[in-house]
Amino acid sequence: MNRVLVTGADGSIGRAAVSGLQAAGYDVAGLSLRYDHASTANRALVGDARSATDVSAALDGVDAVLHLAAIPHPSLGTPEEVFENNVAATFNVLAQAGQQEVRRAVIASSINAFGVPMNVNDVEPAYYPLDEEVEADIADAYSLSKSVDEQSARMAWRRWGTDVIALRFPLVKAREELLRFAAMAERDPSIMAREGWAYLDLRDGVRAIIAALESPVPGAHVVGLAADDILIDRQTDELLRKYAPDVPLRQAVEGRGSLVDTSRARELLGFAPEHSIHDQAVSAMTR
């Protein structure tokens, strides 16, 4: 496997994934509705991930597909636009890949697939650490689209035998941007409590993508991801006592320990995060 199609190639994860894959030796075709940034992709194609014609042409000669194209937040469109774009794009990409015998796909799901973080009602997770089985409670079109995408992945495995890994990304940003989110969350920790103050450094996001593309594991799998610690520079149990005192904690966490169970990522993909905003903050200060 050495040729990969990346949809959403002009997005923030997409651009990093294109160059990360190229650095790892892959030949990369990109697909995007438009390009606001210069693309390093070997072939930068303009097209709609919902179009059978565009995707089928983009898949020509490709061994695997990384599907990132989506409207990444419920506020970036009407509920109808967000749901239709995301679900139709994922189904179409998996359907064209299946029909063209591209048998490996990695798709972007989200920590929001279980619906609680963006829920407009006063809800809480059933437990921490969050894992891939935590009960869904969905009240917005974006979270629903990601939950349906995970079902589409399972269908693609059953119907076409495509191996699909759906990565549940938490907040994934480059370090500078993570620091801005961290400052915001420090001011009001309640805003990220329902996603367990989870984040992932963009470099680890790209490493997880490559690990998923290269994983020999057959079938369709949902895989939760997060850094080993939380975004905020406080003790996790202290935050929980204040902001989620009624949510059962199934496993003790130490220090700034993460509230996402990433054992499946470790077991299935051999992936473990390498970057923490806190470690780097300390080393930057001591340099």
Ligand X SMILES: NC(=O)c1ccc[n+]([C@@H]2O[C@H](COP(=O)([O-])OP(=O)(O)OC[C@H]3O[C@@H](n4cnc5c(N)ncnc54)[C@H](O)[C@@H]3O)[C@@H](O)[C@H]2O)c1
End-to-end CA distance of the chain: give it in Å, rounded: 41
CB of 285 to ligand X, least distance (A): 26
* Near ligand X by CB under 6 A: residue from 6, 26, 45, 50: 50
CB-nearer residue toward ligand X: 9 or 253 = 9
> Peptide bond before 117: cis, by omega within 30 degrees of 0?
no
CB of 241 to ligand X, least distance (A): 27
Segment interacting with ligand X, rule: CB under 6 A, options 43-51, 114-122, 214-222, 252-260: 43-51
CB-nearer residue toward ligand X: 226 or 253 = 226
Binding mask 93-112 for ligand X (x = CB under 6 A): ---------------x-x--
CB of 265 to ligand X, least distance (A): 15
Pick from 215, 214, 172: which is nearest to 4 by CA? Answer: 214
Segment interacting with ligand X, rule: CB under 6 A, options 70-78, 207-215, 237-245, 258-266: 70-78
Distances (CA, A) of 16 to 21, 24, 41, 144, 209: 8, 12, 11, 26, 11
Site for ligand X in 208-237 (CB under 6 A): none
Give the burial class of 70: count Cβ atoms within 10 A of its Cβ; 0-12 exposed, 13-18 middle, 19 or more buried. buried
Report the 10 Å Cβ neighbour count for 217: 14
- Contact 90/166 with Cβ under 8 angstroms? no
Q: Does 172 bind ligand X (CB under 6 A)?
A: yes
Three-state SS at 89: helix
Question: Per DSSP, what are the bridge partners of residue 4?
Answer: 28, 64
- Backbone φ, ψ for residue 53 (5° rounding): -65, -50
> Residue number with the shortest CB distance to ligand X?
11
Q: Does 143 bind ligand X (CB under 6 A)?
A: no
CB of 58 to ligand X, least distance (A): 10
* Near ligand X by CB under 6 A: residue from 171, 223, 244, 265: 171
Binding mask 1-20 for ligand X (x = CB under 6 A): ------xx-xxxxx------
Report the 10 Å Cβ neighbour count for 190: 11
Under the rule (CB under 6 A), what is the footprint of ligand X?
A: 7-8, 10-14, 31-33, 48-50, 68-72, 85, 89, 108, 110, 169, 171-172
